[in-house]
Chains A and B, each alone.
Chain A
């Protein structure tokens, strides 16, 4: 069984080889005519204002946290789905309870306006 993962490793080596060769080739082949102004950050031609690493809208962070929560819940579904036919009615009812909890969580998140972007 473990043997079947070796080709994935080989493919990984091939891919890494391709990436390294490409990056080195483009580094060696391209011209290098740098100047201070050229290496500045692009801001549509005007002088760049300050640093980009500033505090940012917390909504994106909320989405990331919610993703972790819900993704874990979805992973719980996978083993159940694979064995669904053996588990039968009992498994279905038990999962229905879990789905109610998940949907309640989603409902709570929406009611708390965590996913409301236009305000």
Chain B
């Protein structure tokens, strides 16, 4: 098996897994909501409602496609395409496990081990704003426009604090490659213990970037109907919703690999397992961490009420950015005086 064939198979596996997890996140969201509100949740399609996402997906395909007559048709179709494309591209630079050996050949469980990994993630995530803005503007609907404007100003504001909070992590790691950062956290030496404030800021920003509650102003049902996707129907709406769940999955993966050691788990080198066994357990542990983060996203959604827009901007610009700068300077001082 050549390197390239392995890469192609691996890309398709990761692609399929991303879609599968995003699909089942929708079911999990409803089940978690039901659990937190003392209800049962969906249980009609299959045992425990296990086929509910399949039924929802098929229904999206068979729904009527409505393009408003006053909208800008090309941009209207392009909007959800951009949103889903950017959401699906981010997974390319994340390491999903340590290297695996098949027939004496070593394969990296990563699509592309580029040395600008984090910059790639930021670049692609920023493009996601276009998907929402283009779709909301092209709808030519007041609710959509308001939702899109709110979404883009919220996402760009929190991107600043997100970028700032990561700088402190980069100062101690000295690299932008995600695999190298993960390898620097062997066993239980996770970055979250050295960067608690940085992680907190990063996580709040991740909530805002994925438009999740308490930052779901772009689509708050009570005032904006559906926000930027008010006019969308059929699979075009499906792609927008899907992109949101994929983004949640990807940000969980990014948080798990940057701050929670990625595929590293405690005592991984003391157990005396073969490298392939460690790879398999490591990948499973990584996915477990991701699922815990996804559960946390949902837990927060059904616990905390929504912010007001001025509060949101206040938190982003006047609290998180100065805090991130402070965290950066403190990290710098700590590295200078205690590590050298």
Contacts and interface: CB of A to CB of B under 8 A. Distances in A.
The reply to whether chain A is a binding partner of chain B is yes
Candidate in A5, A51, A52 with the most chain B CB atoms within 10 angstroms: A52
Given A5-B114, A7-B112, A67-B160, A39 B68 contact: yes
Nearest to B72: A53
B234 A74 contact: no
B272 to A, nearest CB: 33
A67 B70 contact: no
Contacts of B234: 26, 30
Given A41-B139, A74-B160, A84 B61 contact: no
Contacts, number: 198
B184 interface: no
B63 A30 contact: yes
Interface string A16-59: 10110011011101111110101111111000000111001000
Chain B interface SS verdict (over half)? helix
A10 B5 CA distance: 11
A114 B11 CA distance: 45
B66 A39 contact: yes
Interface string B316-340: 0110011001001100110110001
A104 to B, nearest CB: 12
B325 A8 contact: no
20 contacts: A6-B4, A7-B112, A11-B111, A12-B85, A16-B85, A19-B85, A26-B63, A26-B234, A39-B67, A41-B141, A41-B231, A53-B140, A64-B153, A67-B157, A71-B160, A75-B163, A92-B332, A92-B336, A102-B325, A115-B314
